[in-house]
Amino acid sequence: MPERLPFDKLPGLVGQEIAVSDWFLVDQARIGGFAEATEDRQWIHVDPERCARESPFGAPVAHGFLTLSLLPAMLENAILIEGMRMGLNYGLNKVRFPAPLPVNSRVRGRWTLAAAEPFGGGVQLTWAVTVESEGGGKPVCVADFLVRAYV
């Protein structure tokens, strides 16, 4: 169940961790579908046999950009902004992939509101998000995700 946030209360929540999403499975079908959609078919993502022989990971790993592309779904799963008419992905600031994401891992996002800046028509939210893998030591992605929330 998403954390419900009243639109007008967002500025007062800056600096706080707001929510943690549910777990999302990143299996070979998801990795393969992303490879096809983006035409990034590098063997470390799509060839389990070669990965078993040659990769230092021993199995396929997800594309970093696949992990990044799950951010909107994780945000929607974790947070519902009451009174928001529309939200738009506005961009990203710092993005890093500190650790690989092995196939068949589950990931979730931890959402901290880093900034809430008014603009004509709404508030620009900067979410500091950390994507962690279940049982993993390091995050698989850390990013500043910018969303424009319109009223």
Average pLDDT rounded to a whole number, residues 143-150: 97
Centroid of chain to Cα 12: 23
How confident is the model at residue 1, as a pLDDT? 86
3-state secondary structure of 103: coil
How confident is the model at residue 107, as a pLDDT? 98
**Could you identify the residue written with the tokens 């990143």?**
26
Residue type at position 23: W
Mean pLDDT for the chain overall: 97
Contact 62, 141 (CB under 8 A): no
Among 115, 105, 84, 92, smallest CA distance to 23 is for 105
How confident is the model at residue 48, as a pLDDT? 97
How confident is the model at residue 33, as a pLDDT? 98
- Which band of pLDDT confidence, cut at 50, 70 and 90, is reported for residue 29? very high
How confident is the model at residue 25, as a pLDDT? 98
